[in-house]
Amino acid sequence: MSLAIFDLDNTLLNGDSDHLWGVFLAEKGVVDGAWYEAENDRFYQEYKEGRLDIFEFLQFSLKPLSQHPLEQLQLWHNEFMQQKIEPILLPAAHALVDRHREAGDTLMIITATNAFVTAPIAAAFGIEHLIATDPEMVNGHYTGNVSGTPSFREGKVSRLNNWLEAHQQNLSGSSFYSDSHNDLPLLEQVDNPVAVDPDESLTQTARERGWPIITLRE
């Protein structure tokens, strides 16, 4: 039984859930719309360009979680799933996940986006194992801080290694699907790296190394 690992944003989804959560909050008036949208767009551009300061971004993106009760956040997330996520679910992504499920592989999503945003999305794919950036929670409330290592770039590798040790598994026969050059550290660790609708930088690397390049956009 091999591990089939999937990046989430712009891989299994035709969009970025982290960025879209910020858009949703601005549209709802939960945050200062114009300023928040500008900052959200700036961080997203920095991510795509490979120069994101993950801790600066998380200080920005996790703050709204600390300002509202969990019950309200969950109600908003239900709306978010309907308005922003369901329209960008990819049938071909579901089919890919199902092929690995039918092959008996262990399924995992590993994403830099925080677990509050991504856990319901992983559930929508029927994927049990999720490694995401963990927002700190104290007494049932988010603090706005990060708990542990963000699962971003090299952090994905270290978080995955911790999971492998805890579950007594290894990367023999493993696959990892991603769209982003930010995921090169993990793509280089698995037996079967696959570029999915990749950005320009990852496209070049995949071609140089002979990695498969696929599309899930129909």
Alpha helices in the chain (DSSP H): 17-28, 33-48, 54-66, 70-80, 91-102, 115-124, 154-167, 184-187, 200-209
Rounded to 10 degrees, the C-alpha dihedral 12/15/19/23 comes to -130
Query: Which residue type sits at 67?
Result: Q
* Residue the block writes with tokens 């999915």: 196
Q: Exactly one of 9, 105, 183, 199 is catalytic; which is it? A: 9
Active site residue 191: no
Q: By the 8 A CB rule, do 187 and 211 touch? A: yes
Active site residue 183: no
Q: Which residues are the active-site residues?
A: 7, 9
